[in-house]
Structure 1
Amino acid sequence: MCYKFVDLFAGIGGFRLGFEKVGFQCVFSSEIDNHAREMYQLNFGDLPFGDIKKIELESIPHFDILLAGFPCQPFSIAGEKKGFNDIRGTLFFDIAKILEYHRPKVIVLENVKHFKSHDKGRTLKIVLTTLNDLGYTINWALLNGKDFGVPQNRERTIIIGYLGQKEFNFDYLKQQKCNKLADILEKDSPDFEYLKEEEYTLIENPKKQLSGLIFAGYRNKNIRLKGTKPNTKHLSRVHKQPNRIYSSEGNHPTLSSQESAGRYYILHNGRVRKLTLRECYRLMGFPDDFKLIGSKAKLYNRIGNSVVVPMIEAIAQQVKGQFFETNYLNKNQFKPKQISLFDSELIYH
């Protein structure tokens, strides 16, 4: 049986790639950004619906799974009410309306690492409460892209719900060996942009951090004087992420949706250069035949806003097994950080 999903806040289709690899079928998508919609159509043959707020609920075909990498917004009510009263006016309200109308069996939501502390924890708590009120049993965890084969330290909040009394078990997710950054780099490209030796400073004996990052040096940009603490002026250029240089023998830090200039610098084979666009897409697990169109600035924004495809594929595999197959067991397990709804950090202040 082919189970169907809708792809909301679809971006360029990272969720769709992961779920289609497992055999699920997309029957509807929605994305408001026009450039993302163009890329989505080019790669999948479907033009996503635009503004989610304008979707007529009855126009969405039947589906089994709702996928959404939705933006986080603060909620305006004090948090003492429940359900729609707490989420009205937010983009999550539109997701909840679709859930209430269509009652899909499964929901998978994705957001940034710090979603749990957004608006002092109120945002997450109200989201979970609303989903519970709609009849979904919820579990959630912080997952990292580097645990799914890509050399990028990218932590994300994943929320998974089931319509009924069955809880998703994150322990069954299959872990993949993390490659080092050098393993996914292009061998040669006309797009390589090297820095001159006088434009950067390398540090001696760089050490690998627990995250897998190897900070190797920094660009010789002007030292920022305003707002720096005493005796830290020499560090000001190092603290700015676009000035940092990382060794290709380790992982790469999180690609940012705000970095439209693609200022990701690496030390590889004794030279310092920027990552190419194709390398950035590889860092998110996108295949090389994924088509890129538009300006570089937009393409960097799109990939920084996307999801790690192998991580989504692993989630899709477990969604299929745990919720749609009987007697399913995956022996390859690891334990991501699962956090209770009643975690002390989520208490309102």
Structure 2
Amino acid sequence: MNYKFIDLFAGIGGFRQGFEALGCECLFSSEIDIHARQMYCENFGELPLGDITQIDENQISNHDILLAGFPCQPFSIAGEKKGFEDTRGTLFFDIARILKAKEPKVVVLENVKHFKNHDGGKTLRVILDTLNELGYATNWEVLNAKDFGVPQNRERTIIVGSLNGVKFDFNKLEKKSPVRIVDILEKDGKFDYLEEGEYTLIENPKRQPSGLIFCGYRNKNIRTKGTRENTQHLSRVHKQPNRIYDANGTHPTIASQESAGRYFIYHEGRVRKLTMMECFRLMGFGDDFKLIGSKANLYNRIGNSIVVPMVEAIAKEIKVQILNAQNKKEFIP
């Protein structure tokens, strides 16, 4: 069955790539950032429409699945819960009004890990209440990219809702064996190495439960006292940029700013930056994905994207658990 979906807050198309890999068809896309729109167009052959708040829901074709990686915003809740009306004035309201008008069978929402605690948990509660009010049975989970075949410790909150009353079972998602940074590195290329005097390595670095092996720091002094027993720590350890990670471990979350380009890896006795292609591989994009724009824009785009193999796993189970179980006559031809 060729299920139809729409791609809201589309970014560079991570959601789209994952669902298209499972045979689904995109009918509509929206993204406000011009650089992301240009890159989306370069890879998918269509320019997403812009500001979702200015798009009439009647412009959108009927569809089976709504996908949205939306920004996190607080809701102004005073007194009694109003459900759908509580979301007015936020970008989630635009998702909700489209759901109300088009009634897709499935909605998939993505946000950062700490979204579940945003505004004391009120944000998540209002969204779940609104989806329930619109007829969707909901479930949510925090998923980590490293469980889906990419060597990046990147956690994201995923919400899945269905109109047929089925609560999506995240436990059935197909997990993959852990991979290491070294498994996605380019074999040949012009690499940006640091000179030996530009960094300091830690003796006997320990693998963290997340899979990270923090092994050094650029141009900072080591201090031996820290919170982890038997592990050397570095001054200003909270500063993620300029850390060095062993290529035999996983990579930390790629941030959505240019400073992410200052992450370094230790590989084959030398320290270097990841290439831009390697950064996109950490998100599960193939080497045929076209990269356009400045480095600053590319780091921003990749840092705001969703991990493609994780999307594929979600899409596969949505088809099995929800869509394939319904009467095929109910779907968009």
- Normalising by structure 2, what TM-score? 0.92
Determine the structure 1 residue equivalent to 2:130: 130
Determine the structure 2 residue equivalent to 1:64: 64
Give me the whole-angstrom Cα distance separating, in 2, the residues matched to 1:259 and 1:126.
33
* Aligned residue type for 2:6: V
* Aligned residue type for 1:286: F
Determine the structure 2 residue equivalent to 1:41: 41
Is residue 2:201 matched to residue 1:202?
yes
Give me the whole-angstrom Cα distance separating, in 2, the residues matched to 1:251 and 1:90.
35
State the Cα distance separating 1:84 from its structure 2 match. Answer: 2.6
Task: Give secondary structure in 2 for the equivalent of 1:239.
Answer: coil
* Aligned residue type for 1:201: T
Q: How does 1:72-151 map to 2 (within 5 A)?
A: 72-78=72-78, 80-151=80-151
Determine the structure 2 residue equivalent to 1:330: none
State the Cα distance separating 1:207 from its structure 2 match. Answer: 1.2
What CA deviation, in whole Å up to 9, does each residue of 1:37-95 have, x standing for no partner? 00000000011010000111111011000000000101122363222321110000000
* Aligned residue type for 1:109: L
What CA deviation, in whole Å up to 9, does each residue of 1:135-156 have, x standing for no partner? 0000000100000000000010
Alignment RMSD: 1.5
Determine the structure 2 residue equivalent to 1:231: none
**Contact 1:220-1:237 within 8 A present in 2 as well:** no
**Contact 2:217-2:234 within 8 A present in 1 as well:** no
Give me the whole-angstrom Cα distance separating, in 2, the residues matched to 1:117 and 1:193.
39
| Structure 1 segments (4+ residues) deviating >6 Å | none
Task: Give secondary structure in 2 for the equivalent of 1:272.
Answer: strand
**Contact 2:100-2:134 within 8 A present in 1 as well:** yes
State the Cα distance separating 1:178 from its structure 2 match. Answer: 1.7
Q: How does 1:225-264 map to 2 (within 5 A)?
A: 235-260=234-259, 262-264=261-263
* Aligned residue type for 2:253: T
Task: Give secondary structure in 2 for the equivalent of 1:175.
Answer: coil
What CA deviation, in whole Å up to 9, does each residue of 1:209-250 have, x standing for no partner? 110000101111489xxxxxxxxxx94343311121100000
Q: How does 1:293-308 map to 2 (within 5 A)?
A: 293-308=292-307
State the Cα distance separating 1:261 from its structure 2 match. Answer: 5.5
Give me the whole-angstrom Cα distance separating, in 2, the residues matched to 1:183 and 1:273.
16
* Aligned residue type for 2:8: L
Give me the whole-angstrom Cα distance separating, in 1, the residues matched to 2:59 and 2:176.
39
Q: Structure 2: which 5+ runs fail to align? A: 223-232, 327-333
Call closer, same or farther: CA 1:35–1:307 in 2, change over 3 Å: same
What CA deviation, in whole Å up to 9, does each residue of 1:249-290 have, x standing for no partner? 000000001345611111011101111110000000000000
What CA deviation, in whole Å up to 9, does each residue of 1:271-329 have, x standing for no partner? 011111100000000000000001000001000000000000000000111112249xx
Is residue 2:30 matched to residue 1:30?
yes
Determine the structure 2 residue equivalent to 1:179: 179
Give me the whole-angstrom Cα distance separating, in 2, the residues matched to 1:325 and 1:261.
41
Identity of aligned residues (%): 70
Task: Give secondary structure in 1 for the equivalent of 2:237.
Answer: helix
Q: Structure 1: which 5+ runs fail to align? A: 224-233, 328-349
Determine the structure 2 residue equivalent to 1:7: 7
**Contact 2:220-2:235 within 8 A present in 1 as well:** no
Aligned residues: 316
**Contact 1:153-1:254 within 8 A present in 2 as well:** yes
Determine the structure 2 residue equivalent to 1:217: 216
State the Cα distance separating 1:177 from its structure 2 match. Answer: 1.0
Q: How does 1:159-174 map to 2 (within 5 A)?
A: 159-174=159-174
Call closer, same or farther: CA 1:187–1:79 in 2, change over 3 Å: farther
Give me the whole-angstrom Cα distance separating, in 1, the residues matched to 2:322 and 2:55.
28
**Contact 1:218-1:237 within 8 A present in 2 as well:** no
Determine the structure 2 residue equivalent to 1:228: none
Call closer, same or farther: CA 1:79–1:26 in 2, change over 3 Å: farther
